[in-house]
């Protein structure tokens, strides 16, 4: 509802998986009233635990096999959150390429990825 992000996992110059922000399969989309957070009166940026959306990076990882991810690069239309950084670090992906503005916690996410042997490039 609030952000439209996408991600692509690429290995050996071939697309292995794609993902975008959205609710789980079969769940109503946020714009169709499926997200309690979107309907709440909480200020933007609050009540993340009420959000049903799955981030683009997580969806791309979910829809790829371990063999497709091993040594791959993930391209993201925004910098990853810490939760997605943990998934990336444990997935076999070796590089993150992201565009967009960083946020207050970005230094922690960036250092976590580097310490997990994941290269990071910001465009």
Q: Which residues are catalytic?
A: 57
**What whole-number distance in Å separates Cα of residue 12 and Cα of residue 71?**
9
Q: Ramachandran region of residue 100, left (φ > 0), alpha (ψ -120 to 50) or beta?
A: left
SS3 96: strand
* Beta carbons of 78 and 48 less than 8 angstroms apart: no
* Beta carbons of 52 and 27 less than 8 angstroms apart: yes
Query: Any idea how long the chain is?
Result: 123
* Beta carbons of 7 and 18 less than 8 angstroms apart: yes
């Amino acid at each position: 509802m609030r952000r439209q992000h996408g991600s692509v996992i690429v290995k050996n110059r071939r697309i292995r998986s794609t993902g975008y922000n959205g609710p789980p399969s079969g769940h109503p989309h946020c714009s169709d009233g499926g997200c309690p957070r979107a309907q709440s009166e909480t200020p933007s940026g609050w009540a993340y635990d009420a959000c049903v959306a799955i981030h683009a990076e997580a969806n791309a990882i979910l829809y790829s096999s371990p063999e497709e991810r091993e040594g791959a690069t993930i391209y993201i239309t925004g910098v990853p959150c810490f939760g997605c950084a943990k998934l990336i670090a444990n997935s076999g992906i070796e590089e993150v390429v992201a565009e967009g503005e960083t946020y207050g916690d970005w230094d922690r996410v960036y250092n976590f990825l580097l310490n997990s042997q994941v290269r990071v490039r910001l465009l």
